[in-house]
Every structure is written in C-alpha cells, then in structure tokens.
Amino acid sequence: MTGLHADRVVRRLADRLVVDDVTLTLRPGQTVGLLGPNGSGKSTLLKLLAGVLAPTAGVVTLDGRPLPEVGRRATARRIATVEQHADTGTELTVRDVVALGRIPHRRAWTPPTAADAAAVTEALARTGLTDRADQSWHTLSGGERQRAQIARAFAQQPRELLLDEPTNHLDIQHQLDLLSLVASLPVTTVIALHDLNLAAMYCDRLLVLREGRAVAEGTPAEVLTPVLIEQVYGVRAEVTHDSGHPAIRYLRPAAPDELQEGVTGDVPTAH
C-alpha cells in the first residue's frame, strides 16, 4: 500500500484513550480535514501520523512499512509537520527557518548542497517570502510566521504534509490566504481545523473525531450535516449547498429567559 496509512491506532495517556481505534488512509494529492472539538484527539492523531509519537496499539505505515522501521530521518524526508504555534528564542532569519527543512536531507560534517539551496529558494518563492528571506523571524506577523513554517515544511520536499490548526490566531484574510497556499501545494495534506466552513471549502475529505474516536468520514457534503454538527459539537446549525460545497450557518443557542418564554432564536452568529 503506497502513502501514509493509520491502521486502528490507539494512543493511551494515563487511563484515557486520547486516540481510540482510528483508521485513516490518505489518497495521493488529497487534502483531508481533521475535525472535532478541543481535546478530541486531532493533534495526537497528527503526531502519530508524523511518527513523533508512537501508538499504544495499531500501526502507522508509510508505503506499507511501519514508521519505526522507516526511521526518523527517512520519515522526515517524506512527512513534514506544521505545528499550531511555533516560536523560538533564537535569532533566525526567515531563510534560516526555511533551511531547517533541509536538515533531514543533509549529512553530518557537510555544508548544504546546491540541491538544499535550490529547495530553500523554491520554498521561499512558493510562499511569497522571497523578499523577506533575510529579515529576522521575530519581525514577522503571525500569518507570515505560519507561512514561513509552511515554507520550511515545503523545503523538506515531503509527499505528505500534516498541519495542526495552522490558521489559529490569524484574521480571516490570512486564514484564506494560508489555506489557499496549502491547497496549491502538490502534496497529500492532513489538516486539523476548527472552522467547519473553511474545512468544507478546502478539503476533499473530512474525518471527524470525538473523544478520540472517528465518528464520521467522507466528503464535506456527506459529513457536514446538522445532525452530525449537533452530535459532535453540541450546537445547532443549518447547512446549505448553494456554493458547490456545504456552507454552515450556526444558530444562536436559546438564552435562558427566551427558553422560559418558549421563544427560539435563530439569528446567525458571527463566526
């Protein structure tokens, strides 16, 4: 089996199953969204897929081989990760940060090769950071920092890219920019997201987690139904399909006094 595949993986932390019997197969080139409330196991599942954490049970395979057998460095040449929030106390330029992506490709005691330099240049160009390459990382805005991390991940030349809520803390324009950038990269992507509308817009398939278990999988149109949203997130929503992908409109929960009067509000809330 080619590509990255999680087979019935379990991750136990103390007495809690953070990830409980999840199976995920990635088809090449697809963008898969991981959905679920806080603490549903999205981040842990991504770490299992990256091989940074080992599953308590089950196995993650890359081209049919279990990750521990593939080895850390070889895994990092195939799978790149972008964390939710990256920070450093070290004084680095944007180019330095992007060049970190070449580490799994480089050999000990040898300087970077022409191929390393070319990959960094391409990653900078692809993410629109060429002009900022020599600027300090600390001078970048939140959105630019995330773009730099994506450039770093792209410089790893992965075939699988894993992103953990990369749009957190970004304003809506930067969220859209970032997800468009990710969708434009020629890689298989797994992306944990909070925003259901963004997930519907950018993902080919969705996997919904709740308390560590996979509760739904399929296309956005199959998965994002009012019933599922209520079941998983505990909120009421309307779903329309006018724009080619599902659009979710949340319904305002009834306020206590309105409940008493038997009135239900359906004013859409700003998301």
Could you list the residues that contact other proteins (CB under 8 A)?
47, 50, 52, 72-77, 80-81, 83, 86-93, 96-97, 100-101, 103-104, 106, 108-109, 111, 138, 156
Q: Name the minimum Å distance from CB 179 to other proteins.
A: 21
Q: Name the minimum Å distance from CB 157 to other proteins.
A: 13
Nearer to other proteins, 6 or 198 (CB): 6
Nearer to other proteins, 109 or 270 (CB): 109
Q: What is the DSSP letter of 264?
A: -
From CA 179, how far away is CA 184, in angstroms rounded? 8
- The alpha helices in 51-169, defined as continuous H runs, are 67-70, 72-78, 94-99, 114-126, 142-155
Q: Which two tokens stand for residue 191?
A: 């992306």
Q: Name the minimum Å distance from CB 18 to other proteins.
A: 16
Nearer to other proteins, 107 or 267 (CB): 107
Q: Check if the beta carbon of residue 245 is closer than 8 Å to that of residue 221.
A: yes
Strands 205-210 and 31-35: parallel
Q: Which residue is listed with tokens 């993410």?
A: 127
Phi and psi torsions of 219, nearest 5°: -70, 160
Q: Which two tokens stand for residue 204?
A: 């080919």
Q: Name the minimum Å distance from CB 156 to other proteins.
A: 8
From CA 138, how far away is CA 158, in angstroms rounded? 26
Nearer to other proteins, 76 or 239 (CB): 76
Q: Which two tokens stand for residue 188?
A: 């298989």
Q: Name the minimum Å distance from CB 34 to other proteins.
A: 17
Say how many C-beta atoms besides its own lie within 10 A of residue 80's C-beta.
24
Nearer to other proteins, 137 or 202 (CB): 137
Q: Name the minimum Å distance from CB 56 to other proteins.
A: 18
Nearer to other proteins, 89 or 256 (CB): 89
